[in-house]
Chain A
Amino acid sequence: MKTRLTGRVWKYGDDVNTDVIFPGKYTYSIADPREMALHALEDLDPGFVAAVRPGDIIVAGKNWGCGSSREQAVVCLKEAGVGAIVARSFARIYFRNAINQALPIVTCDAVDGVENGDEITIDFAAGTVKTPRRVFTFPPLPAEVLEIIEDGGLIPHVRKQLGR
């Protein structure tokens, strides 16, 4: 994982659930991550897929990713190029899916200090999110969790631990 990430903001509200991140109607028929990316946030922000650029950052309110356990709701955003998600809080299944898929997640109130399209910088080592208006701080992830992300996700992490 890079220690710093600078990207453009996509700002969303509270309680964004996995049905609007990746619609349930596709969960059966789509298995290819690239195709999943074409439907990311389709029911919340239909303009997202066409305009998202690699390294963009989603900044949201509380309880991001609540609802169903579908891992596609992480994969579609990662594949669409999202570099990190910053939210006031995360639903727990989403939180661990993101870690397992090595999509960096940051818990802080940056949503209070950004507008759509702002450029912000996350410094993972310092634990800061710098927006045009304010600097927000966040507690680092537990060391064990950071290691999973740094290794590229759960599977590579365990492989490394097992020495193969």
Chain B
Amino acid sequence: MGKTMIQKLFAAHTKQGALGAPGAPVDPGDIIWLDLDVRTARDFGGANVVQNYCEHYGDTPVADPARTFFTFDLVVPPSNIPYANNQQICREWARTQGIKVYDVNAGIGSHVAIEEGLVRPGDTFVGTDSHLNILGAIGAFGQGMGDQDIAFAFKTGRTWFEVPPTMKVVLHGIPRKPCTARDLTLAILQRLGSDGALGRAIEFYGAAIEALDLAGRITLASQVTEMGGIIGFPISQTAHPPLNPALLPDPDADYIETLDLDVSNLEPLIACPPNPANVHPVREIAGKRIDSVFLGSCTNGRFEDFAAVAEIVKGQRIAAHVMATVVPATRRVYAQMLTSGVLETLFDAGFIVSNPGCGGCASGHLGMTGKGEVQISTSNRNFPGKQGAGQTHLASPVTAAWSALAGEITMPEVKV
């Protein structure tokens, strides 16, 4: 029997096979000690990791400082003293351990890791960010974990993990504009629901997957958490950077389920409160007045996302009653926006353009919503309290741009 991508990737990262059975094959359900190429903590959970580490391992060194990083991205720069204190705890401890810190100016850790080459296709990577499975977008294994797990990973360079079964999602057809990678992702989420991939790895196939650029693959991979999944790999022959050829799934690999989805007639979709799987066609709630717009997050914070928005709003002003925030994923994205003129276009249209990071995607930092506030957002979750006290609706940057202009949830059009 052939192997799926996650089986091959895990087999390449465990020296002893299944726990207690050296050399045993890596099959779904096996619990293995997984060797980690990279382990990280962000400002969220980072201080807890340090506390946990010091409590259990004292002042002993981490396994390998060159493969251990802090990436501050959640509350950057800190908005109050407790946040600042926690970041300083991480900084000072990192100094004593010789660990590099991507500080409050860097941007979202998972994106920085891809841009800076901290992680390559086929690697294993853990941290305190529950959307680290974004790294599936480049064919790497990424996983968010709790602080005890991460302290352990810092110390030992490994973690225990149950090999997940793999499901196959095969897309048929290619969606037409104004649909984007986000609408494609929402369609899959609608079909799978919040737990349709619970505990599973996913391999995505089809012409629509081949057509995605890195930004689009990041959008899709980031939402696998919202489907309950462990990680999702868009299987694309045209991906750049290319997938690790040694880890491509075998044609006769064993899948727990295959899901076929026709996306050729896809229409713009939106996830309404109270959860990301509550997906509806945009047309069903078009006309609902909005108070605010958030563009960014690890799901849709790439240059391509903001360039698409700029194309729509160029030369226009967003509705007078709407407060709209743009948060680039990283410094590099910010730089691209600067040099391309996208930043100026968004600024002129009335957007607040903030420094890189997670922005409004975490209750506690800029762009939070108040009680009764209706928001359209490109972020990854709309659980009650996640982005404040308001009602967050999740949609593509394109739908959000049209809605910002109109001041209400709006069906996007194809600009001629």
Contacts and interface: CB of A to CB of B under 8 A. Distances in A.
Interface residues of A, number: 40
B386 A19 contact: yes
A29 interface: yes
A142 B31 contact: yes
| Most B-side CB within 10 Å, residue of A43, A69, A74, A145 | A69
Contact of A69 (B145, B195, B362): B145
A7 interface: no
Given A24-B362, A28-B82, A89-B195, A67 B149 contact: no
B16 interface: no
A6 interface: no
B410 to A, nearest CB: 28
A144 B128 CA distance: 24
A31 B48 contact: yes
Contact of A97 (B56, B146, B198): B146
Interface stretch (B172-180, B320-328, B331-339, B377-385): B377-385
A142 B162 contact: yes
B145 A96 contact: yes
B154 to A, nearest CB: 13
| Most B-side CB within 10 Å, residue of A15, A19, A153 | A15
A116 interface: no
Interface string A1-44: 00000000000001101011001110111010000000000010
Contact of B146 (A25, A62, A69, A91): A69
Contact of B230 (A24, A92, A100): A92
A93 B128 CA distance: 10
B148 A15 contact: no
B244 interface: no
Contact of A71 (B146, B160, B363): B146
Contact of B148 (A19, A142, A154): A154
A24 B74 CA distance: 12
Contact of B45 (A20, A69, A74): A69
A74 B148 CA distance: 12
Contacts of B362: 24
A127 B267 CA distance: 47
Contacts of A29: 82
B97 interface: no
Contacts of A92: 198-199, 228, 230
B36 to A, nearest CB: 15
Nearest to B161: A96
Contacts, number: 120
Interface string B14-38: 0000011000000001010000000
A9 B115 CA distance: 48
A71 B132 CA distance: 16
Given A67-B130, A145-B31, A28 B383 contact: no
B105 interface: no
Contacts of B51: 31
Interface string B345-384: 0000000000000000011100000000000000001011
A19 B147 contact: no
Interface in A81-117: 89, 91-93, 95-97, 100-101
Interface of B: 19-20, 29, 31, 44-45, 47-48, 51, 56, 75, 82-83, 86, 128-130, 144-149, 152, 156, 160, 162, 194-195, 198-199, 226, 228, 230, 275, 277, 362-364, 381, 383-386
Given A24-B386, A31-B47, A144-B19, 12 more contacts: A15-B194, A17-B275, A25-B385, A28-B47, A63-B198, A69-B145, A71-B45, A74-B146, A89-B199, A93-B144, A93-B146, A95-B199
19 contacts: A15-B275, A20-B385, A24-B362, A24-B364, A24-B386, A25-B363, A25-B385, A31-B48, A69-B129, A69-B144, A71-B146, A71-B147, A71-B149, A72-B48, A91-B198, A96-B149, A97-B146, A142-B162, A155-B56
